[in-house]
Amino acid sequence: MRNYDLEFLKQFSMVIGFLMLVTGGLIVGAFFLHGSLPPEVNPRTAQLTEARIAPAGAVYAGETGAAAQAAAAAAAQAAAASQVAYGGTTDGSVIYQNLCGACHTNGVGMAPTLTASSFGARASKGVETLYKHAIEGFTGPDGGIMPPKGGNPALTDEQIHATVDWMLANSK
């Protein structure tokens, strides 16, 4: 081979080597850059998350916020009132079997079972206190938790009263 051919091959090899190093550097840089970017969030997933946390995630400030908070509370109560649970029945046994029995049959969450010993201490506080705790919810000194309306906001106060009365009548 001639001398200028060897010189050309040497320079061409250096250019190819330099381009390979640049390409490798770009690949490594792209790998680290890709790892530092947050993944794309599906817009539908973001909407579902916002809808799920909206009642607890709202911020109300000042007089305008207080009015918005009152309107939101009224809207929530109207929505709950429009959906009466269990067809509006005031049969305590039906409501107990469908809702209350999940906890009060086995004592889940420190719930009193349908026994005279469990309900005796609670009944001694008066039926109005039991109604209040069943409607508004209650956390007992023993750590027992009664969610408001047993966890079903569609229950009416009359349904709660009927169910509490049924439970007291049927505690053994």
Q: What percent of the chain has pLDDT over 90?
A: 16
* Token pair belonging to 97: 């079997």
CATH number, domain containing residue 96: 1.10.760.10
The CA–CA distances, whole Å, from 36 to 8, 22, 29, 40, 157 equal 42, 21, 11, 12, 54
What is the value of pTM for the model shown? Answer: 0.52
Whether 63 is in a domain gets the answer no
Angle of CA points 85, 112, 94, to nearest 5°? 30
Any domain includes 128:
yes
Which pLDDT value is given to residue 14?
96
User: pLDDT tens across 27-61, in order?
Assistant: 999 998 888 877 777 888 888 888 877 766 566 67
Per the structure, the count of domains in the chain is: 1
Residue 10 has pLDDT above 70, yes or no: yes
Contact yes or no for 113/102 (Cβ under 8 A): no
Whether residue 153 lies inside any domain: the answer is: yes
- Which is nearest to 116 in space by CA: 170, 56, 43? 170
**Domain assignment present for 148:** yes
Q: What range defines the domain where residue 131 resides? A: 85-170
**Residue 46 included in any domain:** no
Count, residues in the chain: 172
pLDDT digits (tens, 9 = 90+) for 101-126: 888 888 888 888 888 787 777 778 88
On whether residue 110 sits in a domain, the answer given is: yes
